[in-house]
């Protein structure tokens, strides 16, 4: 070996795109995955490699995804129900105002008729 040769220690890491186990030089800032050609930041890939001495790791996120999607679906259903209830209340208020307006107009009309009758009767006497 030559005296100018620098020994590089490789550390395990995980590709941030395909999940392949990589051997990277920790002194470098970036590298490229030889499996999927994805460039990655070495420190991030090393930090993602959290399980030492494992040949194969399978992470099942299905339960988590189902949980998040279920929660999101419940929130959407709740929002739809609240909008529906609000719409019904606005319709009921509108109907109430419409009926109240016409009742008021009927009372005004009846009072005018009564005044007209009284005025007519008083002129006759």
Domain total of the chain: 2
Q: Are residues 46 and 73 in the same domain?
A: no
Q: Are residues 47 and 82 in the same domain?
A: no
Q: Considering the domain boundaries, does residue 4 fall inside one?
A: no
Cβ atoms within 10 Å, residue 43: 14
Within the chain, strands assigned E span 11-14, 21-24, 30-32, 39-41
Q: Are 63 and 51 in contact (CB under 8 A)?
A: no
Q: Considering the domain boundaries, does residue 118 fall inside one?
A: yes
Q: Are residues 31 and 72 in the same domain?
A: no
Comparing C-alpha atoms, which of 51, 10, 25, 19 is closest to residue 38? 19
DSSP β-bridge partners for residue 41: 30
pLDDT given at position 90? 95
Q: Are residues 71 and 46 in the same domain?
A: no
pLDDT given at position 33? 81
Q: Are residues 44 and 74 in the same domain?
A: no
* Dihedral, CA of residue 8, residue 11, residue 12 and residue 18, to nearest 10: -60
Give me the domain span that covers residue 119.
64-125
Q: Considering the domain boundaries, does residue 115 fall inside one?
A: yes
Task: Give exposure, 17-40, as e/b (b: 16+ Cβ within 10 Å).
Answer: eeeeebebeeeeeebebeeeeeeb
Q: State the pTM of this model.
A: 0.37
Q: How far is CA 83 from CA 42, 62, 89, 94, 106, in A?
A: 49, 31, 10, 16, 35
Q: Considering the domain boundaries, does residue 121 fall inside one?
A: yes
- pLDDT tens-place values along the chain, 125 residues long: 455 555 555 556 777 677 777 776 767 777 788 888 887 776 655 555 544 444 554 555 566 677 777 888 889 899 999 999 999 999 999 999 999 999 999 999 999 999 999 988 888 65
Q: Are residues 79 and 32 in the same domain?
A: no
């Amino acid at each position: 070996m030559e005296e100018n040769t620098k020994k590089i220690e490789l550390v395990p890491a995980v590709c941030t795109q395909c999940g392949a186990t990589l051997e990277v030089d920790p002194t470098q800032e970036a590298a490229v995955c030889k499996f999927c050609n994805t460039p990655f930041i070495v420190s991030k890939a090393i930090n993602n490699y959290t399980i030492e001495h494992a040949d194969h790791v399978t992470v099942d996120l299905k339960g988590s995804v189902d949980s998040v999607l279920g929660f999101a679906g419940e929130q959407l259903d709740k929002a739809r129900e609240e909008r529906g209830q609000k719409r019904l209340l606005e319709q009921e208020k509108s109907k109430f105002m419409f009926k109240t307006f016409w009742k008021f107009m009927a009372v005004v009309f009846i009072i005018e008729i009564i005044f007209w009758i009284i005025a007519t009767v008083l002129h006759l006497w």
